[in-house]
Amino acid sequence: MPQCLTVAVSQSHTLPTTSATLAALASTTREAARQGVDLLLFPEAYLGGYPRTCNFGAAVGSRSGEGREQFLQYLHSAVDLGDTPRGAGDAWVERKLEVAKGKEHRGDGTREVLERVAAETGVFLVVGIVERAGGSLYCAAVYVCPRKGCLGKRRKVMPTGSERIVWAQGSPSTLKAVTTTIKGVKLTLAAAICWENYMPLLRYALYSQNVNLYLAPTADSRDTWLPLMRTAAYESRAYVLSANQCVRRKHLPSWIRSSPSEKAGSSSASNVTPKSEEASANAKAKEPQEVKISALDHGDVPKTPEPTPIDKAHGIVSPSPLHL
């Protein structure tokens, strides 16, 4: 019996403030819900921002004053989810961490906003986040269920290249899949963030948990990315969703634009079936706020030699407003 879900990826870019980005996330999610979307993936570092082209004034053995100021600005733009620097795991998920006297919750309220948006729209959210904990920043992805709130969160194990200047290493203990049921369809989903997808053993750590929905929020728009997503789909026998921000240089924070740098780059997104087929065209976004929607048939997704292909797909649509 067919078990169909409608999933989508957003190519939205980070806005100048966290509150503005959260408002855009809520608007995009509401429009996606009106299109019948059950699960929506946002790109890597959507909340907090991906500091593309910024070198933070770093050279071997030195840091410039301007670069230190840039990091301070970036630190303030990150979100506080109320977790510890080490990562509290289930204690964070289950809200067992101590809350300061006089406070309603830990963190800056971002977790609560995400949970409220998911609950109000009925859309399961997976959101790329730059998370502040102590004095460190982590590239993370959070899974938000409309019924139960945050089911889990994981941090990028090894930041890529110069990302290591500003992002700390996440714990491998966060490489855990989460399970949920949407419209009677049982899902085991997990996210590998950007370059983690190029790490075979990390991919296998997720495959071994029997994922049937593999998520890849990214900042990589090179031609090598789509073949990698096809590989992940074929290896895992899972559906693969990938989302990247469509960003122009004018969309970067002023503290980055004030320094001469290269072109900011563009975006691509992909929805790939377990047979390594594209559910919809892997076109690069032409506008900064775009969403791709696909209908997935999970009726035969379990690790079969020939999983049932996606039965229909829609092209790129604009979430503000969303038109098919």
Active site residue 284: no
Q: What is the mean pLDDT of the chain?
A: 85
Which tokens in the block code for residue 38?
Answer: 């059950």
Give the model confidence (pLDDT) of 38-62 as tens digits: 999 999 999 999 999 999 999 999 9
Q: For position 322, what pLDDT does the model report?
A: 25
pLDDT tens by residue, 198-208: 999 999 999 99
Percent of the chain surpassing pLDDT 70: 81
Catalytic residue, chosen from 44, 163, 196, 278, is 44
If one compares 100 and 130, the residue with the highest pLDDT of the two is 130
145 has catalytic annotation: no
Active-site choice (31, 156, 163, 290)? 156
Residue 312 has a pLDDT of 27
Please indicate whether residue 156 is annotated as part of the active site: yes
Q: What is the pLDDT of residues 68-120, one digit of tens each?
A: 999 999 999 999 999 999 998 999 999 999 998 888 899 999 999 999 999 99
Task: Kindly tell me if the per-residue pLDDT of 315 is higher than 60.
Answer: no
Q: Exactly one of 194, 246, 278, 290 is catalytic; name it.
A: 194
pLDDT of residue 59: 92
pLDDT at 248: 85
pTM of the model: 0.86
